Chain A
Amino acid sequence: MIKLSDIRKIYNKGKSNEFEALKEVSLTINDGEMTAVIGKSGAGKSTLLHILACIDSYEDGEYYIDDMLVKNLSEKKLAEIRNSKIGMVMQDYALVDDFSCIENVLLPLDFAKNKKANKTELAMNALKSVGMDGMAKKPVNKLSGGQKQRVAIARAVVNEPSIILADEPTGALDSKTSAEIMGLFHKLNENGKTIIIVTHDMEIANQCGRIIEIFDGKIKF
């Protein structure tokens, strides 16, 4: 379960270009929910997602993952959470460009606290689940956008995290490829994963069980 209470995010605090991107956001997302986060450009959607992914800080408020107060966690424990509890899919894929598909997917397995013996097999399975097993050895900078997004999803799921966060995963893709990618998220959701997708595409949002709209850094009800 994810719980945010009164989260405030201020960029450039104390400087002349100070900007409050999130204003007292409170939110609860239950396990197994598939949620869409929508809102205008600049509303704070990505900011929210990055905080949820434990890769950005916030000024005020409390964030709990499975009843753990994130603020109190050590750097090491946080890394462990990013590694095993959360799978993150970024809008621009965020892959290591000159690694092959499998090398990218192996990263979370390499960083895992509990080392698994069959890493290559697990990585291949993850690639298979997104239909990319045929290109495992190919460097990702030779792939198309849709293929990159699949590899990014494979990397996000390879450690079997319970939460998957995706920032505009279909933003750069044509509608056919978008539908295929959404199919993957649906399948993951059916397998019990909590899924949060940031999108500005209402068609995508409507496929999710729940829609949260952000407006000017606040959740709109």
Chain B
Amino acid sequence: MKNICKLSLKMLKRNKLLNIYIIIQMAIVFAMTIFMVSSLTSRYHYYLPFKKFIESDGYFCNLTSATTVLGKYVQCSSDISEAVYGAEESNVQASYRVNLSNIHEDNMYALFSYSYDEEIYNNWIPDMQEGNWLSDIKNSGSEEIPVVVYDTTHSMKLGDVLEKQSIDYIEDDQGNGKNEVKKIKLRIDGILSDDAEIVHYNELEYGDCRDIFSTVKDITEREGYETLYLFRSQDIHSADIFCMSSGIAFINTNCNISDELKNENQTIIIGITEDFMELKDFQKNSQKYITDEIKKIMPIFLCILLLTIIITISVNAITTYKEVTNYALYYICGLTWKMAMLISLIHAAFQTLLALFTAVISMLVCYFINIFSNTVLEFHPLQILVCLAMIIMNMIFAFIMPYIIIRNSTPREILTSN
């Protein structure tokens, strides 16, 4: 066995130029496949994070800040679930506008700040420039509220503590209202990158999963803010800061409720917002968007698949034709054909591994020097699976190609025909 490996390695060294050419060719095919699979899976990019919600019964809503349910502002998910039939607190996930302003400023919502319910920030992790996203923040138990910011001025630093205030309007027994100012300390735990996409409602533009997201750059530009502050709902609640539902809300209802209750729910939702969609339709649209996208790239994908197969076959045919005389010589010296096929197999294994290595290294290099910044490149288990399938296909051909070529001839015929 050791000797077989030795001969395979010698074979790799022998046709250096051809092997380098083949390895580069295979590396390119690997890279193409990885890109292709990336662009296939990336179509699910906006769908998978909230799959659980999208595929359930209920509503996808945009709530405005002034939304009231049962006569009060929506401050947490239970405020909605209490009003909707067949919805529990955990089935409603929303985002909220947080009441924060700079010190000595008396505009209540002066700061562009939002908080997310747990399942929203856990299921979507945006691109961070540095620090942690909300889902990775460790509760330090300190007074400072962890915040993730997007700062167009690039002047904020990780770990900075910001002093802000929250203004509450309270009425006393006589009905005299007054503002109560509360000082708040925020600790910057993460800074979003410029092209980060976050869960943020814009408008029902497509009516599918793309509507869930917007890039921070667009949002701040559109709304005219310098800085965006993002919080976890629970931190806002425990600090007793006022907030109001604003933006996206997934309201999942139990699918077993009667049609009557469903209709009632619809009326309730209409009462809350006019900007909503039934999740059933939302899901259908999303699925259609994904299949349409996939259909668009399918022809390229099939071509690459075909190309891969053809390249695999031709590479192995060339290698085998080049080596078959040597196999015959080994045969004369006492090797079985089976072992010759094994040499071919091991040689192909070395070749493929080198090619895969080359592909991954060059892709990582490109990735780090940012050539592909606008290209989708994701590493999924699916890519590994597809690469594995390619490797196995190559090995199978490497094993049977000598068999196909040798099958009908004796070693002396091979030797004399060359």
Contact = CB atoms under 8 A, between A and B. Distances in A.
Interface of A: 46, 50, 53, 55-57, 75-76, 78-80, 82-84, 88, 90, 92, 94-96, 98-99, 103, 107-108, 110-112, 155, 159
B332 A96 contact: no
Contacts of B294: none
Contacts of A99: 10
Interface string B316-338: 00000000001001111111111
Contacts of B331: 55, 79, 82
A98 B11 CA distance: 10
Interface of B: 3, 6-7, 10, 14, 326, 329-339, 410-412, 415
Contact of A108 (B6, B334, B412): B334
Given A75-B338, A79-B335, A107 B330 contact: yes
A46 B326 CA distance: 20
A142 to B, nearest CB: 15
Contacts of A79: 331, 334-336, 339
B374 to A, nearest CB: 47
Given A55-B411, A57-B410, A95 B329 contact: yes
A110 B332 contact: no
Contact of A111 (B14, B333, B410): B333
A84 to B, nearest CB: 7
**Of residues A53, A88, A96, which shows the largest number of chain B Cβ atoms within 10 Å of its Cβ?**
A96
Contact of B333 (A46, A50, A56, A107): A107
Contacts of A112: 334
Contacts of A55: 331-332, 410-412
B97 to A, nearest CB: 75
B332 A53 contact: yes
B9 to A, nearest CB: 12
Main SS at interface, chain B = helix
8 contacts: A55-B410, A56-B412, A82-B333, A83-B333, A94-B329, A96-B326, A110-B7, A111-B339
A111 B415 contact: no
Q: Nearest 6 A-B pairs (CB), nearest first?
A: A83-B334, A110-B3, A111-B334, A107-B333, A50-B412, A79-B336
A80 B333 CA distance: 9
A90 B332 CA distance: 10
A111 B337 CA distance: 12
Task: Select the residue from B14, B326, B331, B412 with max chain A CB neighbours within 10 A.
Answer: B412
Contacts of B338: 75
A79 B338 CA distance: 11
Contacts of A107: 329-330, 333
Nearest to A98: B14
Contacts of A90: 332, 415
A84 B326 CA distance: 19
A11 to B, nearest CB: 9
B410 to A, nearest CB: 5
A78 B331 CA distance: 10
A108 B335 CA distance: 8
A82 B3 contact: no
Contacts of B334: 79-80, 82-84, 108, 111-112, 159
A106 B270 CA distance: 87
B412 to A, nearest CB: 5
Contacts of B335: 79, 83, 111
Nearest to A49: B412
Contact of A94 (B6, B10, B332, B336): B332
A90 B6 CA distance: 25
A82 B411 CA distance: 12
B39 to A, nearest CB: 43
Contact of B337 (A46, A56, A75, A95): A75
B402 to A, nearest CB: 15
A45 B330 CA distance: 23
Contacts of A92: 415
B332 to A, nearest CB: 5
B333 A108 contact: yes
Most-contacted residue by chain B among A75, A90, A95, A107 (CB, 10 A): A107
A167 B336 CA distance: 22
Interface centre among B6, B334, B411, B415 (most CB of A within 10 A): B334
A56 B410 CA distance: 6
A129 B312 CA distance: 46
Contacts of A108: 333-334
B329 A96 contact: yes
B298 to A, nearest CB: 46
B329 A82 contact: no
A82 B332 contact: yes
B325 to A, nearest CB: 9
Contacts of B3: 110-111
A155 B333 contact: yes
A53 B411 CA distance: 11
B14 A94 contact: no
Given A90-B415, A98-B14, A99-B10, A75 B332 contact: no
B6 A110 contact: yes
Given A75-B336, A75-B338, A79-B335, A111 B412 contact: no
